[in-house]
Amino acid sequence: MERTSKGTRGRRLAAATFAALTGLPGVAVAAREWNLQTPVTEIARQQYELHTFIFWICVVIFVGVFGVMFYSLFKHRKSVGHQAEPFHENTVVEIVWTVIPFLILLFMAWPATRTILAMKDTTASELTIKVTGYQWKWNYDYLQEGFGYYSNLSTPLAQIENREPKGEHYLLEVDHPMVVPVDTKVRVLITAGDVLHAWWVPAFGVKQDAIPGFVRDSWFRAEKVGTFRGQCAELCGKEHGFMPVVVEVKSKEDYAKWVAEQKAKVAAAAEDPSKVWDEKALAERGEKIFAANCVACHQANGKGVPGAFPALDGSKVVLGPSADQIGVLLNGRPGTAMASFKQLSNTDLASVITYTRNAWSNKTGQAIQPAEIQAARK
């Protein structure tokens, strides 16, 4: 596992901050697109047309108002002998300049209201996926299919640290994208497990806040096979710019094959909770879990970030009774950045705890078993 220096952390934080402010995490390498993304759903198309419609109304108003103003300033300027006309009020003019803007607003509100109501109509959905935001990854649960997985940023650290050229989809690529079938109404139930997030895919016309303790819903029907990218649109911490959303739209036949593959993987990964693991196997698995879930805060060298995230190397919690560390991972620490990781499996939690208790200078020689995690959940 690569070690992360203070300079590296600074570069990553700067990149994340710039990404959050610009909304363009791949701006360093991707072609700049200042227009809206090409719509691939009916809702996104309505949004695009509504945006264009209101834009041209604003252009007409701008040209009309400033045209009259500049014409009057030039034509009736004092230097050619014009004098200002004294008057107090004109009821007709006041009624006109009140009624006309009101009618313009109604003219814009009608199509806008129609689009908003369509955005909220999640009835008759054919597929439901629960989306949960965590710092700094997404979890996708296919409720009807009975499986789920995490989606993490897959951009290599070497690219982020400028040791390699930036890839085509820099900061907009993940290890496991959401996969959906084409021409299917997909309902997404959106929530968060720690802080505020927002699930946003511009080409779908979907942007919904993910709020801890609340479930919001939205929907889309992708009309085109392909890969579509978005990102978390709510500032959610120092790694906010490293939390992309990627959705892969497949044909219905390919989607059915993919679902079958996922179910087979779930069945193959099903483990006997009473199985006793050796330390080496747990630590090897735990290192991968740590890299995917913990390294952003506690760092690859276990030293954490002074003043922000505690070190695990030499930690009293890590070196103390295993029950204390298990409790922290299952319940988190309210009032701190330490969220609960109870969504991980018993084996994953046992693995990452075993890894931290035997990595760096921590040499306890202990192997925490999945059965201990299962017992602590009760």
Query: 3-class secondary structure for the chain?
Result: CCCCCHHHHHHHHHHHHHHHHHCCCCCCCCCCCCCCCCCCCHHHHHHHHHHHHHHHHHHHHHHHHHHHHHHHHHHCCHHHCCCCCCCCCCHHHHHHHHHHHHHHHHHHHHHHHHHHHHHCCCCCCCEEEEEEEECCEEEEEECCCCEEEEECECCCHHHHCCCCCCCCCCCCCECCCEEEECCCCEEEEEEECCCCEEEEEHHHCEEEEECECCCEEEEECCCCCEEEEEEECCCCCCCHHHCEEEEEEECHHHHHHHHHHHHHHHHHHCCCCCCCCCHHHHHHHHHHHHHHHCHHHHCCCCCCECCCECCCCCCHHHHCCHHHHHHHHHHCCCCCCCCCCCCCCHHHHHHHHHHHCCCCCCCCCCCCCHHHHHHHHC
Condensed to tens digits (0 to 9), the pLDDT of residues 39-60 reads: 999 999 999 999 999 999 999 9
Does a structural domain hold residue 333? yes
Condensed to tens digits (0 to 9), the pLDDT of residues 291-340 reads: 888 887 899 999 998 888 899 999 999 999 999 999 999 988 887 878 88
- Shared domain for 59 and 174, answered yes or no, is no
- Shared domain for 105 and 130, answered yes or no, is no
The pTM of the full predicted model, rounded to 2 decimals, is 0.73
- Shared domain for 373 and 352, answered yes or no, is yes
Give the number of domains in the chain: 3
Does a structural domain hold residue 305? yes
Condensed to tens digits (0 to 9), the pLDDT of residues 114-138 reads: 999 999 999 999 999 999 999 889 9
Mean pLDDT of 168-187: 96
> Residue 71's domain spans which residues?
42-119
